Structure 1
Amino acid sequence: MDHRSLLYFTTLIEEGSFTQAAKALYISQPSLSSAIKKIEEQVGIKLIERNTRNISLTKEGEIVYEEAKKLLNHFNYFQKETIRLKQDGPLELHIGLIESVRFWLPKVLASYTKTHPDIHIRLLEVLGLKQVETALKNYKIHLAITNQLFESDEIEMIPIYNEKLVALLPKGHALQDATNLSIHDLQDEEFIICKEGFQTRDDILNEYRKSGIRPNIHFEIERFETACALVEEGLGITIVPENYLRTPDHPSLTIKKLTDTSLSRTVYIAFIKNRYLPPVIEEFVDITKTFFKES
């Protein structure tokens, strides 16, 4: 099965009919129908169900379609990359980020760009598990700096540091002067937490479960910035990574360590296994690892 066959098959599925797919591919409908039959003969399984109005994938066809899309994405990426390498050399670095990297990433980039002054760096905020995984697999980023835990065997994860999670209270809160603040003290507080699909949410909820209590969730958010703003307005309390609060952006907040828990998270560099990474990207990974070893 060649590139053209994959393109014909995936276009047919995405367009939903032989008529529309043939138009999109600028070929005749009989030619497309013949090509699809040839694909099914080559793989030896039925891929699509046909009727007079539309088509649908068989269970086997669903798997072949997903793999075909990956191959086409890889082929398109390969074509673009070879053209770019011929013209400019390997001068791009696309990084997916979580919020708390702001305390260290500028320092690493300052060091990195001294030896790569012409490189174009694109920083994208990718937070949830599916968002990070999709960005990696679809070539939107070369690597991700993330605390998400992936079940995919396709993704390599290099741990770079561990950070504690701390409670965040509004100024004047009844617990702000507590010497030993425990997670049990937060049981009845109106709680602000990341939405589903975020590893930090899972870590916090697991800690509550281990303590035998349930958080009183009032708000679900994506960004810690939003959580901090809600706490500042007295709309609840939250738990965030300690490193996110290294800069004094929120003077009207009280930061409290939780004394009865080791609640923390590990931050990783994640990338797709067995995918070529240009030397400039490998050098960024090495510089990042060195930064945390030395600090």
Structure 2
Amino acid sequence: MDLRKMYYFVAIVKYQSFSRAANALHISQPSLSNAIKTLEREIGALLIERTTKQFQLTELGEQFYERSNRLIAQFEVMETELKEFAEGEHIEIRLGMIESANYWFSQVIIAYQQQFPYNKITLIDTLYNQTVREALLRLNVHGVITNQQIVDHEIKSELLYNEPYVILTKIDHPFASQELIKLSDFAEETLIIGMPEFQTSGQILKAFEQEEITPHIQYKIERFEMIKLLVEEGLGIAILPHHYVAQPLPECLMTHRVQSEFLNRNVYLCTMKDRTFPESIIKLFELIKKMH
């Protein structure tokens, strides 16, 4: 039994067809069929039912498919790790990152480049839970900084920090003269918010729901930067993560604390549990944990 036949078998299951799998693998269908028959002879049992019109695995075929997937994934991880170790200090490190982390991460890059000047760093936006999970499992990234605690037996989520949400308004907004702002004060306000499918927006909407308040949402925007621009134009107010507005703001804007036990969030560093990293990548993770 060899890994090539496992790849072939997994492809057949994926495409539910010998012909479609053969096209995807760029081999002839007879060659693929012969490879699977050889595999079945080596195992001593059928993996695919050949007595029905529909594609169907035998019970052993189901087990073999699951184990083959795991072995192939482990092989791909090992192959990636060996290449990275061979590259030494000339690695491209790929990180997924939420928008609000950009403002402190620049200091991490400065400190890291002093130690590893030849390594390259690529930053990728990660906004959705599924995007984070898939990016890690497919080895598209080495780690992800996210406000989503990914629950997966293959992924490790380490808490970096907890941060409050704050209100962003123009300096001449009535909130500027209020010492205490509550969510109930939003009843007459136009709220600018992120897309509902984002966890940040979900947490904000949940806070209103828990305090039995219905906000007036006029705009739903994907990027924090655009939200900030709309506030600057006087089109409404926004609730944003503290780290995003911690950097200097335009003179016409200001932030306010809001009294709500529900308006805060955790930020995590997520990595693959069983992936082995070179020392240079481990050092970057250490700086992230130290300098956030």
* TM-score category, normalised to shorter length: 0.7 to 0.9
- TM-score of the aligned structures, taking structure 1 as reference length: 0.81
**1:152 is paired with a residue of what secondary structure?**
coil
Inter-CA distance 222–105: structure 2 relative to 1 (3 Å threshold): same
Inter-CA distance 27–93: structure 2 relative to 1 (3 Å threshold): closer
**2:8 is paired with a residue of what secondary structure?**
helix
Kept in 2, the 8 Å contact 1:183–1:208? The answer is yes
Distance 2:143 2:222 in 1: 21
Q: Which amino acid aligns with 2:203?
A: D
Distance 1:135 1:59 in 2: 31
2:206 matched to 1:206? yes
Q: Which runs of 5+ in 2 are unaligned?
A: none
Q: Which residue of 1 aligns with 2:190?
A: 190
Inter-CA distance 129–196: structure 2 relative to 1 (3 Å threshold): farther
Distance 2:70 2:283 in 1: 27
Q: How does 1:24-39 map onto structure 2 within 5 Å?
A: 24-36=24-36
Q: Which residue of 2 aligns with 1:79?
A: 79
Kept in 2, the 8 Å contact 1:159–1:266? The answer is yes
1:178-214 superposed Cα distances (whole Å, 9 cap, x missing partner): 3321111113433332324422123212211221123
Inter-CA distance 157–80: structure 2 relative to 1 (3 Å threshold): closer
Q: Which residue of 2 aligns with 1:233?
A: 233
Distance 1:203 1:196 in 2: 10
Q: Which residue of 1 aligns with 2:22?
A: 22
- Give the root-mean-square deviation of aligned CA atoms: 3.5
2:254 matched to 1:287? no
Q: Which amino acid aligns with 1:189?
A: E
Inter-CA distance 180–24: structure 2 relative to 1 (3 Å threshold): closer
1:48, distance to aligned residue in structure 2 (A): 7.7
Q: Which amino acid aligns with 2:157?
A: M
1:51-88 superposed Cα distances (whole Å, 9 cap, x missing partner): 76x85889998997687566545534533543454355
Q: Which amino acid aligns with 1:125?
A: D
- TM-score of the aligned structures, taking structure 2 as reference length: 0.82
243-252 or 277-286: which moved more? Answer: 243-252
Q: Which runs of 5+ in 1 are unaligned?
A: none
Q: How does 1:145-156 map onto structure 2 within 5 Å?
A: 145-156=145-156
Q: Which residue of 2 aligns with 1:100?
A: 100
**1:180 is paired with a residue of what secondary structure?**
coil
Distance 2:273 2:207 in 1: 32
Q: Which residue of 1 aligns with 2:163?
A: 163
Kept in 2, the 8 Å contact 1:148–1:198? The answer is no
Q: Which amino acid aligns with 2:101?
A: V
2:12 matched to 1:12? yes
**1:109 is paired with a residue of what secondary structure?**
helix
Kept in 1, the 8 Å contact 2:89–2:280? The answer is no
Q: Which residue of 1 aligns with 2:120?
A: 120
Percent identical among aligned pairs is 34
Inter-CA distance 117–57: structure 2 relative to 1 (3 Å threshold): same
Inter-CA distance 288–80: structure 2 relative to 1 (3 Å threshold): closer
Kept in 2, the 8 Å contact 1:50–1:56? The answer is no
**2:168 is paired with a residue of what secondary structure?**
strand
Q: Which amino acid aligns with 1:269?
A: L
Kept in 2, the 8 Å contact 1:91–1:119? The answer is yes
2:251 matched to 1:251? yes
